[in-house]
């Protein structure tokens, strides 16, 4: 087994399966540096013949509970007129990965954490996993490409229902609507995700790469176009009073008192 480190992420490879693990427990909040490190790991694994499939996992209680708003600027973004969003540029790098990815998801995959989960081809989850695109609850537009990837995965109607309500769903419901592929008990999460990745990796690698490239043709480019638009809308809405109220309401665990300004 070979091992390496990318900031708060580690990579180990065994029997053609790479496990990429996030180490920011308990909730693995992200910032631009973490997404950059993950993208660099994915990029290096693309060029490593010892890897034929990846498992994306996280240490702790949650897979990824979203952006680290305790950080002064978790996305590294400035005004859209000054250029693109560094976080989304790194996200596009993740979507550009050429090899199949299986995500192992426990606990929360919320906001941008849901966006990160949808980078993967497949999601193995626990019953207590929680999924939400709760951007409207904090007064902003969805991001991380979710307005493209979520409808592509579960259909426009179900995606609209989740994004316009900001509702949270569990692992079983996620599987029922096609957001998750396998539901297992927590002690079987990582073994099941690795087993699925290994089932893929045992096949002819050139054929797997070719088939996946066809299935995901244009995906990274579409995510780039969508995140460019999402960034503009997010930047506009982040200047509103509703956004300030939404952040406060979520912190206080109450419904926001929004005024439309």
| pLDDT score for 2 | 78
Q: Is the pLDDT of residue 105 over 70?
A: yes
**How many domains does the chain contain in total?**
1
Give the mean pLDDT of 50-65: 98
Q: Is the pLDDT of residue 47 over 90?
A: yes
In a domain? residue 31: yes
Q: Is the pLDDT of residue 103 over 90?
A: yes
Task: Express each pLDDT in 164-212 by its tens digit.
Answer: 999 999 999 999 999 999 999 999 999 999 999 999 999 999 999 999 9
In a domain? residue 204: no
217, two tokens: 């043709």
Give the mean pLDDT of 236-245: 96
In a domain? residue 162: yes
Q: Answer yes or no: are the C-beta atoms of 181 and 123 closer than 8 Å.
A: yes
In a domain? residue 40: yes
Residue percentage of the chain with pLDDT more than 90: 92
In a domain? residue 18: yes
Helix (H, G, I), strand (E, B) or coil at 131: strand
Helix (H, G, I), strand (E, B) or coil at 233: helix
- 122-125 sheet: strands from edge to edge: 2-6, 9-14, 17-22, 53-58, 101-105, 122-125, 182-183
177, two tokens: 């609507």
Q: Answer yes or no: are the C-beta atoms of 131 and 113 closer than 8 Å.
A: no
Domain coverage including residue 143:
2-185
| pLDDT score for 84 | 78
In a domain? residue 60: yes
Give the mean pLDDT of 73-99: 82
In a domain? residue 201: no
Nearest-angstrom CA–CA distance, 80 and 229: 10
| pLDDT score for 91 | 97
Q: Is the peptide bond before 85 cis (omega within 30 degrees of 0)?
A: no
Q: Which of 233, 243, 142, 251 is nearest to 260 (CA)?
A: 243
In a domain? residue 261: no
Q: What is the CATH number of the domain that holds 53?
A: 3.90.226.10
| pLDDT score for 68 | 83
């Amino acid at each position: 087994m070979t091992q390496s480190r990318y900031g708060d992420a580690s990579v180990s490879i065994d029997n053609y399966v790479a496990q990429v693990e996030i180490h920011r427990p308990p909730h693995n909040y992200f910032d631009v540096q973490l997404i950059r490190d993950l993208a660099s790991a994915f990029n290096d694994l693309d060029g490593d013949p010892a890897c034929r499939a990846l498992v994306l996992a996280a240490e702790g209680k949650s897979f990824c509970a979203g952006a680290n708003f305790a950080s002064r600027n978790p996305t590294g973004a400035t005004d859209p007129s000054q250029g693109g969003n560094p976080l989304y540029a790194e996200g596009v790098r993740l979507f550009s990965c050429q090899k199949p990815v299986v995500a192992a998801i426990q606990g929360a995959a919320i906001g941008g954490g849901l966006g990160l989960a949808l980078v993967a081809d497949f999601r193995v989850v626990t019953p207590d996993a929680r999924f939400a695109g709760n951007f409207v609850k904090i007064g902003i537009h969805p991001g991380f490409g979710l307005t493209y990837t979520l409808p592509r995965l579960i259909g426009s109607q179900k995606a609209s229902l989740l994004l316009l309500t900001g509702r949270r769903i569990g692992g079983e419901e996620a599987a029922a609507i096609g957001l998750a592929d396998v539901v297992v008990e927590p002690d079987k999460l990582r073994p099941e995700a690795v087993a699925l990745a290994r089932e893929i990796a045992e096949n002819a690698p050139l054929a797997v790469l070719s088939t996946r490239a066809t299935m995901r043709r244009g995906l990274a480019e579409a995510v780039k176009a969508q995140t460019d638009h999402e960034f503009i809308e997010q930047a506009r809405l982040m200047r509103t009073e509703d956004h300030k109220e939404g952040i406060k309401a979520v912190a206080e665990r109450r419904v926001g008192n929004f005024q439309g300004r």
